[in-house]
Amino acid sequence: MNMKQVRLPQFHDRAESVWAQFLQALPVIVFFLIMFYSVIFFFGMEYTTIASLVTVIFQGNYKKRKVPTVPLISLLLQQLLLLGLAYIATWNIVLSLILNLVVPFWLIFTKASQFNQLGYFSTLMTFTFMQFIPVDWNGFVIQFEAMTFCCIFVFITIKLYHQMNRGKLGICTERKVMHLLGCILEKFLNDDDISSDLKELFHLQRLLYQEANDKRGKRHVVTTAGKLQYMFAILIQRTTYLVSNQSKVLRPVDEESRKLALDLAEYMQKAGEIDFLSGNRAKTWTLMKEGRRLLAEAEKEKDIFHRHVANFFRMFLFILHQAEVREQGILSEQWEVPAKHRFKERVLAHFRPDTFEMRFALRMSIVLMAGMAFNLLFYDEHSYWFVMNAFLLLRPMYEDSNYRMRTRFLGTAAGCILVALVLPLCGSSIASHLIIAGIMVSCMYTATPGTIVHALFVTCFALSMTTLAMGETMAVFLRMAYIVGAVLFVLVINRFFFPTSLGSQVRYNFQLLFHMHHMYLRMLEDLLTNQLDYWRICDAQIQYHTVLAQIRNDLPQVEKDEKDREYFNKILNITWCMASEIQQMFFQVKHKKRGIEARRIMEQYISYTDYVLNQIQEMLHLKKEKKLKNIEGMKYQRYIEGEPELSSLMTQYARNLSRLYVLVLRRVR
């Protein structure tokens, strides 16, 4: 009796969880079923693969808060282009090898990165799956018509879904951050605990940079929307830095200052209720008016607290103004990436054996070339199951791929057993098979992708359709034979052809993180004599914070020991502070021309910092920088006469660098 009482609540909780997953997946399930049965009705059962392909696009876009029309149309047109390339690839073995080498490189290089590892998936899936069953010209025309029909339906459905659920898709990150900042400041003034709020603030601050990274432009470093998000990310990073490291700055010295701080907290929370980056003047006018009033109040005093409050309002009001005039174009020549640099960074930089994109593109090309060659040379109705499973099992990271090999094999075996038990009870009519397929699809989209349960329902869905044309025994045998072949093939590719493990990627990212600190110092040195390149600063900051976020995300999976995780997190925390300080130095340096002595002090400060950073990299067994100045005979100084703010940042940066050196040295010893 006691055992039943224990199990019943667990069963109830599990049932509630599954029901919640089903409701969450319901829009995708309904979309697929409409597409699936529509394609069968209008074009024929042999074209149902297209329904799965467009469902992936719908699934990846329908929940987004904003889906711009032009990028969505571009994505759908790309599906039609890839359909045409897939058709050409089935003409002969030579074209198959060439296109299955070139297309994966194109899609992985342009759509995927270590920060968006599966960005290639929906497009490369279309190119791959549409090669499975070669068709003649008439068959291709029907495929093209079916794909066009489905793409139009995707576009209309996503736009209608967003129109109907405009207020239910969540608020933007900017609003969340502003509201949270207001709450933190209010709690801080009342001496309440803010540790959990700070943790969430750091998470949202990293998310802002990641969202700005997703809005990179073709000619400019970012799009108009990306520039607004980037500027807001800088503002929040500075504010986060002050809240977490310089809390004494925010401590008001008198009652009047306390009132201003409370007004600032209230202002931030109000901003969190308004979509202030939308460019809608009606929504932002009140914010701008109140912000100008508080700015004028902050400018009355010159102490450090009022100065930081005034700096916040100046930048926030500038962002609001930029959002308001965005239609007139806010991307100047200073934000345009030179053509030479675009080619170097977006093309040549990927063609290195240590990059994520190069290593994964090589593995994917080998899999598709070998798999499609096998499909063409030994073609039967289901030989494509081999390359299909290999494509789905090959993942950017070795660990993820191995996990999916286990779950896919076990799920396929379980699915074959279930089909062997269920299908004989349901008759052999087409209608019964289609009904079972619909039920299996509903379960498939409810299950978590990559799990055994998901693979089980994928197998049941596939076999419920396959057994219309062949016996159950043969279908089950082929399904298991091809999954075993695909697992062994991918296992060899992952082990011996340009493997990329999570641990090696984290180490590569640590190397990149320190390299970027050196690059920051080079940029700071260049600013002493030259103008600020906004595109270069923007590009560096976005990359730095996305790399940092990726390390934080992957570290718990790589470092299982709690002490090791704590050690590396301390390194990340210190380097984050250093990045925040040097980024503020950029804007301090750019606003004032300096004399020879001030430039000499800064240059020597930078050279010493470079040297110490290199020593830390050596202790961490990371690759050292090649081009560093000889510091022999140089005088180290971190104060410049007449520049208290810059000197304060230089001092704080040096202290953090010293903390980092001591932390790593103690570990080494």
Q: Which residue matches tokens 């994928």?
A: 458
What gap in Å lies between CA 262 and CA 250, rounded to an integer? 11
CA 150 to chain centre: 27
Q: How confident is the model at residue 661 (pLDDT cuts 50, 70, 90)?
A: very high
Number of other CB atoms surrounding residue 666 within 10 Å: 9
pLDDT tens, position by position, 131-184: 998 899 999 999 999 999 999 999 999 999 888 876 565 668 888 888 888 888
CA 463 to chain centre: 35
pLDDT beyond 90 at 534: no
Decide: helix, strand or coil at residue 553: helix
Q: Which of 40-54, 354-368, 415-429, 525-539 has the lowest mean pLDDT?
A: 415-429
Q: How confident is the model at residue 245 (pLDDT cuts 50, 70, 90)?
A: low
pLDDT tens, position by position, 265-313: 888 888 888 887 776 677 778 888 888 998 898 888 777 778 888 888 8
What gap in Å lies between CA 416 and CA 474, rounded to an integer? 11
Which amino acid, 288? M
Mean pLDDT value across the chain: 85
Q: How confident is the model at residue 505 (pLDDT cuts 50, 70, 90)?
A: confident
Could you give the percent of the chain with pLDDT greater than 90? 25
Reference 366, options 95, 100, 87; nearest CA is 100
Return phi, psi of residue 113, to 5°.
-160, 175
Burial of 368 (0-12, 13-18, 19+ CB in 10 A): buried
- The pTM (predicted TM-score) of the whole model is 0.83
Cβ pair 279, 327 in contact under 8 A: yes
Which residue intervals of 43-68 are DSSP H helices? 49-61
Please give the span between the terminal C-alpha atoms of the chain, in angstroms, as a whole number: 59
What gap in Å lies between CA 322 and CA 316, rounded to an integer? 10
CA 294 to chain centre: 36
Reference 391, options 147, 143, 123, 98; nearest CA is 123
What gap in Å lies between CA 624 and CA 112, rounded to an integer? 28
For residue 220, the cross-strand partners are: 336
- What would the mean pLDDT of 504-511 be, rounded to a whole number? 88
Residue 216 has a pLDDT of 82
pLDDT tens, position by position, 368-402: 999 999 988 887 777 889 999 999 999 988 888 89
What gap in Å lies between CA 110 and CA 357, rounded to an integer? 9
Number of other CB atoms surrounding residue 259 within 10 Å: 12
Q: Which of 77-81, 453-457, 602-606, 623-627 has the highest mean pLDDT?
A: 77-81
For residue 116, the cross-strand partners are: 113
